[in-house]
Amino acid sequence: MSAPFDVRSADVLVVGAGPAGLSAATRLRKLGVANVIVVDREQQGGGIPRHCGHPPFGMREFGLVLTGPAYARRLVDRAIHSGVELQLGCSVISIDHSAEEIIVTCATHRGPLTIVAKRIIIATGVRERPRAARLVSGDRPLGVLNTGALQEYAYIQHLLPFRQPLIVGTELVALSSLLTCRNIGVKPVAMIEGRSRPTAWRGAMALPRLLGVPVRYGTRIVDIKGRPRVEAVSLRAADGTIETVTCDGVLFTGSFKPEAALARSAGLEIDSGTGGPAIDQFARTSEPRIFAAGNVLHPVETAGWSWREGRRVGEFVAQDLKGDLPSADRAIHLRPGDGIRYVVPQRLVPGGGGLDHLQLRAVREVSGTLVAYERGKAIRKQPLTSGPERRILAPTAAFSTADADITIGLDCQDTKTIRSDSACA
Ligand SMILES: Cc1cc2nc3c(=O)[nH]c(=O)nc-3n(C[C@H](O)[C@H](O)[C@H](O)COP(=O)(O)OP(=O)(O)OC[C@H]3O[C@@H](n4cnc5c(N)ncnc54)[C@H](O)[C@@H]3O)c2cc1C
């Protein structure tokens, strides 16, 4: 552990010991980079999976079906075994990239720690939007949580925050919260979804059916009542009727935002579509010595996806240390058009290479054609059927010869194939 006012140096400093950060660091060591430090503000490495006490994790990475904590432990063990130095209980509070070397200031329980690094990878993940940001009125009782907090109570602190909560949201993470509830003997009174369809795949909605949890679509929470604990909620149905439902907790799920405070305070360009740092196809942010990987780039992906992306970013950083990446000075921009919320990466430097795919998200449930325009001319089309939280991929190589900014959106003339809740309003 570091002494007060300690100063360390690193070839690469990775901020965040989740699947993305640990896989990037492990890859860097395997590629011969000598001094790789990973820091995390938590006392345990592994990121979000540490408190996802359910399977399936690790099929791609270890060829096994693991629970989240077992997967997190394996990621940490593999990183340490490869020679990565892990500093836990170490919160990065600032990144100064104004000088030749990057100076990172961390807070640890032993005092401040300064790390001077040649390259940084920001892999700080996502968080769910809390109640305050969702503008739900009413009392401020105990028992209103996000999934992350529920998992922390259930699997790390072994506490029972409620017995009969209402679950808000039908994203995959909402379904994982059903498993957490079942594991600790909690019986949700219902799941609600503001839209007319589930956010997760329809097939996945067999889970609440199996567990006997009713799902109400077109329903929003408008008020929370109770003191000191939650006693009831008011729900508004699609036809405007208001109903009071008795429960002892409210679990807000999904509605993810990148944990981008550090990137923002370091003055990196933030993409308004993702809320995370904007990158080029080699994961370089607007400061080319600072890279980013994992869910801080795109709310939200699975652990396996973040792990794989981290590995690739580790390779890019190793190439960059050898001077083998193309210059970041000249790039075209990729912008979301009609019906598209974001495109990652947001910039492409000439010459191709880098991440194999652009990642996009649609604003709503859509079925139509995705079109890329360069100087107003369609240069690529691909059929598309997707929902708001579903991954859409387009090959990066398809744009390697573009020499002007590109806009990617839905073809709004293609009205026959776009459903009634059109993204091209
Ligand atoms: C509540 C919740 C439940 C989820 N459930 C699942 C699931 O069941 N299955 C699944 O596949 N995916 C799930 N996900 C998606 C999850 O984000 C990914 O599985 C995966 O953890 C992303 O990896 P990551 O490395 O990008 O980020 P994370 O795993 O989030 O790791 C980021 C790390 O950065 C650290 N950090 C952040 N800021 C700082 C700082 N300033 N200084 C130091 N350390 C910092 C955090 O402590 C954290 O450990 C869930 C996400 C959430 C929010």
Ligand 1: atom nearest CA of 21 is: 25
Q: Any idea where the domains of the chain sit in the sequence?
A: 6-127+257-329, 130-254, 333-417
Q: What's the confidence (pLDDT) of residue 185?
A: 94
**19, containing H or E segment:** helix 19-30
Angle 68-81/303-321 helices, nearest 10 degrees? 20
For ligand 1, atom 19, name the residue with the nearest CA: 303
Q: What is the pTM of this model?
A: 0.93
Q: Considering only CA atoms, which residue is closest to atom 35 of ligand 1?
A: 16
Judge contact between 319 and 147, C-beta under 8 A.
Answer: no
Ligand 1 center from residue 49 Cα (angstroms): 7
Q: Inform me whether the pLDDT recorded for 186 exceeds 50.
A: yes
User: By alpha-carbon position, which residue is closest to atom 37 of ligand 1?
Assistant: 124
Which pLDDT score, from 0 to 100, does residue 5 have?
63
Pocket of ligand 1 (CB under 6 A): 15-21, 39-42, 47-49, 52, 91-92, 123-128, 147-148, 173, 176, 259, 262, 294-295, 300, 302-303, 306
Distances (CA, A) of 92 to 38, 76, 180: 11, 19, 30
pLDDT attached to residue 378 = 94
φ, ψ of residue 251 to 5 degrees: the values are -110, 110
Q: Over the Cα atoms of the chain, what is R_g?
A: 22
Distance of CA 73 to the CA centre of its chain: 20
Provide the pLDDT for residue 112: 95
Q: Output the furthest CA–CA distance in the chain (Å, rounded).
A: 66
Main-chain dihedrals φ then ψ at residue 119, nearest 5 degrees: -135, 155
Tell me the mean pLDDT in the region 144-172. 93
pLDDT score at 388: 79
CA of 241 to the centre of ligand 1 (A): 38
Name the residue with the closest Cα to ligand 1, atom 13: 302
Q: How far is the CA of 47 from the centre of ligand 1 (A)?
A: 5
Residue 423: pLDDT over 60:
no
pLDDT score, position 269: 98
Is residue 173's pLDDT more than 70? yes
Residue nearest to ligand 1 atom 9, measured at CA: 302
Kindly give the residue spans of alpha helices, DSSP state H, lying in 322-370: none
Query: How close is the Cα of 290 to the center of ligand 1, in Å?
Result: 19
Instruction: Identify which has the larger pLDDT, 132 or 321.
Output: 321
pLDDT at 134 (0 to 100): 79
Q: Please tell me the CATH superfamily of domain 130-254, with its number.
A: FAD/NAD(P)-binding domain (3.50.50.60)
| The pLDDT value given to residue 385 | 86
- Domain 6-127+257-329 and domain 130-254 have a common topology: yes
Amino acid at 280: D
Level-2 CATH architecture, domain 6-127+257-329? 3-Layer(bba) Sandwich (3.50)
Q: Using the mean position of ligand 1's atoms as its centre, give its distance from the Cα of residue 257 in Å.
A: 11
Determine phi and psi for 154, rounding to 5 degrees: -70, -50
**422 pLDDT more than 60:** no
Q: Tens digit of pLDDT for each residue in 311-360?
A: 999 999 999 999 999 999 999 999 999 999 999 999 999 988 999 999 99
Q: In this structure, how many other beta carbons lie within 10 angstroms of the beta carbon of residue 324?
A: 9
- Nearest atom (ligand 1) to Cα of 39: 43
Q: Which of 69-78, 99-108, 137-146, 407-416 has the lowest mean pLDDT?
A: 407-416
pLDDT mean across residues, the chain: 92
Torsion 196-202-205-209 (CA) sign: positive
What is the best residue among 26, 48, 308 to mutate for testing ligand 1's pocket, by most ligand atoms within 8 Å of CB? 48
| Percent of the chain whose predicted confidence (pLDDT) is above 70 | 96
Indicate which atom in ligand 1 lies nearest the CA of residue 261.
41
**Residue 421: predicted pLDDT:** 45
Q: How far is the CA of 258 from the centre of ligand 1 (A)?
A: 10
C-alpha 268/C-alpha 164 separation (Å) is 43
Q: Which residue has a Cα nearest atom 18 of ligand 1?
A: 303
Distance CA 301, CA 259 (A): 14
Q: What are the pLDDT digits (tens) for 43-87?
A: 999 999 999 988 899 998 999 999 999 999 999 999 999 999 999
pLDDT digits (tens, 9 = 90+) for 244-277: 999 999 999 988 999 999 999 999 999 999 999 9
Which DSSP letter does residue 49 get?
G
Distance CA 298, CA 279 (A): 11
What would the pLDDT profile of 120-129 be if each residue is shown by its tens digit?
999 999 998 8
Which pLDDT tens digit goes with each residue over 25-55? 999 999 999 999 999 999 999 999 999 988 8
Distance between start and end Cα atoms, the chain: 56
Distance of alpha carbon 317 from alpha carbon 323, whole angstroms: 10
Is residue 117 scored above 80 in pLDDT? yes
